[in-house]
Chain A
Amino acid sequence: MKKHNLKPESFYTSDSYPSDGAKDKMWRNINNEIQSGKNFGFQFDFRNFAIGFGAAIVVFFFFTGVYFSAEKILSNDKPQNLILSETYSRAVDNFERALPVVLEEKKSETEVDELINVRREELDTLTSAIQMLKTEIKSSSSSDIKYQRLIDLYRMKMKIIDSILELEAKRK
């Protein structure tokens, strides 16, 4: 543990401290300013609004995708695993289609968050993995484990897309 050298009382001179009454005077000024400021708790922030709006669109696309796909499940003869993987595939596609709507709002910003780049790389890796698994399922024999794995990959992909959205919202 680093030892700090100096005690404040030995470092600061008397000149570093406020004069008598300064503390109360300053609080009065601060208090007046705070009281006169209206709606500090709610300030309309266009950037946050745009992100929130975009996120709402993403959620809408996602649930619409899931709803229509689920409907098909009920009236489909395909194996359950295949139907589920198709459902996730469609939902993720819808999710991704809506993503640029949110990110578009940030286009003018030059600073790119490092974490977002990392997430994007993860997203690419995951997309390749999904593609490989899908090809494997098509070309060789499919199995429950493979379908389960595919569904897990889709779930992970959605989480990453979700985390990109969250990062975008938090980005200063």
Chain B
Amino acid sequence: MISENSVIRKVQRGNIKAYKKLYDLHFLKLYRFLSQFSKDHDLVEDWVQNAFIKAYENIHHFGFRSKFSTWLFSIAMNEMRSFYRTDNRRSEYHVEKDASELGDEVIPDFIWQHDMNIYLSELDDEKRAIFILFEVEGYSHKEIADIIGLPENLCRSKLHRTKKILKQKWLENEKA
């Protein structure tokens, strides 16, 4: 079986067929991840397309220091964020409450409940992305830091805070 790195090297030499292989491999994961930041499928398609185009344009800068998917996701995140930055557009779910009031105590084992999806969608893009990348896509903290462009420790603490918020909101709802 041909390794992904050898496929990337072919792409770096201008082989578009090889790039189609990378597209087939990563398209779905990228699409479903980005679809968490907009309900508008046309918009998500634009982000995905632009991410793949920019990745191709810059493929000769890819130095094999990270996984291709990590690099691709970081490009896609920038696409999505620059869209929301333009004309001060914001993600339609950007209504996070101040999490600092929740304190700093350690969360006992976090267990995902399906209802938490609603609370997750209420958080800001960054927290949501970090949570999904770690808990769902299985990226390491280091990889997430590369994708989001934040220090690793900050990503860790944001994940911690996100879980705390989700758990607290879910418990509040259960009591009510």
Contact with A16, one of B36, B45, B59 (Cβ below 8 angstroms): B36
Q: Interface on chain B toward A: helix, strand, loop, or mixed SS?
A: helix
Q: Is the CB of A17 within 8 A of B20?
A: no
Q: Is the CB of A18 within 8 A of B41?
A: yes
Q: Is the CB of A8 within 8 A of B136?
A: yes
Contact with A30, one of B28, B39, B52, B117 (Cβ below 8 angstroms): B52
The answer, yes or no, to whether B69 is at the interface (CB within 8 Å) is no
Contact with A5, one of B28, B53, B57, B111 (Cβ below 8 angstroms): B111
Q: Interface on chain A toward B: helix, strand, loop, or mixed SS?
A: helix
Q: Is the CB of A19 within 8 A of B41?
A: yes
Q: How many residues of A contact B (CB 8 A)?
A: 28
Name 11 extra pairs, CB < 8 A, besides A16-B31, A26-B48, A30-B23.
A5-B110, A11-B135, A12-B32, A15-B35, A17-B32, A18-B45, A19-B41, A31-B20, A40-B57, A40-B59, A41-B60
CB<8 Å pairs between A and B, sample of 24:
A4-B135, A4-B136, A5-B110, A6-B112, A8-B136, A8-B137, A10-B114, A12-B35, A16-B32, A16-B36, A18-B41, A18-B44, A19-B41, A23-B27, A26-B27, A26-B48, A27-B23, A27-B27, A29-B49, A30-B56, A33-B49, A34-B56, A40-B14, A40-B57
